[in-house]
Structure 1
Amino acid sequence: MAEAVIEPVRNQDQLKEFVAFPWKVYKDDPYWVPPLFHERMLFFNPKKNPFFEHSRVQLYLAKRGGEVIGTIAAIINDRHNEFQKEQVGFWGHFECVNDQDVANQLLRTAEAWVRDQGMQAIRGPMNMSTNDECGLLISGYDSPPVAMMTYNPPYYERLIESAGYVKAQDLYAYIIATNLYEENVDNLPRKFLQASRKLLQEGEITIRTANLATFEQEMVRAKEVYNAAWSHNWGFVPMTDHEIEHLARGLRPFLDPDMIFFAEDKGKPVGISVAIPDVNENLLRIKPKPGASMLRYAYDGIRFLWDRRRHQPRLFRLLIMGVVEGYRSRGIDACFYVETAKKAFAKGYKQCEMSWILESNPMMNRIIQRLGGKIYKTYRIYEKTL
Structure 2
Amino acid sequence: MSDRVIVEPVVTRRDRERFLDLPYRLHAGEPHWVPPLRREAGRLISPRHNPFFAYGTARLFVARRGPQVLGRIAAVHNPRHNSRFEAADGFFGQFECADDGAAARALIDAAGHWLRGRRLTSMIGPVNLTTNGECGVLVDGFDTPPRLLMPYNPPYYGPLLEAAGLRKAKDLWAWRRGMRPFDERFSRVAARLEHRARVRVRPIDLRDFDDELARIRHLYNSAFDGLWGFVPMTEGEFGALARQLRPILDPGLVLIAESGGEPVGVSISLPDLNQALPAARGRLTTWGLPLGLLRLRRAARSIDAMRSIVVGVLPEHRGRGVEILLYAGTLRAAVSGGYRDIELGWTLEDNSAIVASLRAAGCTPAKTYRLYRGDLP
Query: TM-score scaled to structure 2, two decimals?
Result: 0.95
Counterpart code for 1:276: L
User: Aligned AA for 2:122?
Assistant: A
Tell me by how many angstroms 1:195 deviates: 4.3
Q: 1:361 aligns with which of 351, 354, 357?
A: 351
Cα-to-partner distance string for 1:24-68 (whole Å, 9 max, x where unaligned): 111111100001111211221111110111111001111222221
Cα pair distance change 1:259/1:69, threshold 3 Å: same
Question: Which one of 244, 254, 259 corresponds to residue 250 of structure 1?
Answer: 244
**Deviation by residue 1:162-190 (Cα, 9 ceiling, x = unmatched):** 111111100011111113x3xxx4x26x2
Matched, 1:268 2:258: no
Q: Which residue identity is paired with 1:65?
A: G
Post-superposition Cα deviations, 1:84-140, rounded to whole Å, max 9, x if no partner, equal: 221100001111111101111000000010011010100110011110001000011
Corresponding position of 1:171: 172
1:295 paired residue number: 287
Percent of pairs with identical residues: 36
Deviation of the 1:245 alpha carbon: 0.3
In the alignment, which residue of structure 2 is the partner of 1:19? 20
Q: Which runs of 5+ in 2 are unaligned?
A: none
Question: For residue 352 of structure 1, what is the amino acid of its counterpart?
Answer: I
Q: Which has the higher contact order (CA 8 A, sep 6+)?
A: 1
Superposed CA RMSD in Å reads: 1.8
Contact 1:88/1:123 (8 A) holds in 2: yes
**Structure 1 alignment gaps of length 5 or more:** none
Offset of residue 268 of structure 1: 2.4
Instruction: State whether structure 2 residue 109 is matched by structure 1 residue 108.
Output: yes
Determine the C-alpha separation between the residues in 1 that align with 2:294 and 2:286: 12
Tell which deviates more after alignment, 341-350 or 375-384: 341-350
Question: Which AA in structure 2 matches 1:81?
Answer: N
Distance across 2 between alignment mates of 1:105 and 1:63: 10
Distance 2:370 2:245 in 1: 25
Match runs of 1:315-330 below 5 Å: 315-330=305-320
Cα distance in 2 for residues equivalent to 1:273 and 1:49: 25
Q: 1:234 to 1:203 in 2, by over 3 A?
A: closer
Q: Does the CA-based 8 Å contact 1:87-1:121 persist in structure 2?
A: yes
SS of equivalent residue, structure 1 residue 45? coil
1:149 and 1:327 mapped to 2: Cα distance? 29
Q: Deviations over 1:221-278 (max 9, x none)?
A: 0110111110121110100000110010011011111011111233322100011111
Indicate conservation of the 8 Å contact 1:196/1:332, yes or no. no
SS of aligned partner of 2:16: helix
Letter in 1 for 2:96: E
Q: Is the 8 A contact 2:137 2:371 kept in 1?
A: yes
Alignment partners' CA distance in 1, 2:261 and 2:80: 30
User: How many residues get paired?
Assistant: 375
Q: After superposition, where does 1:88-127 map in structure 2 within 5 Å?
A: 88-127=89-128
Q: Which residue of 1 aligns with 2:298?
A: 306
Match of 1:333 in 2: 323
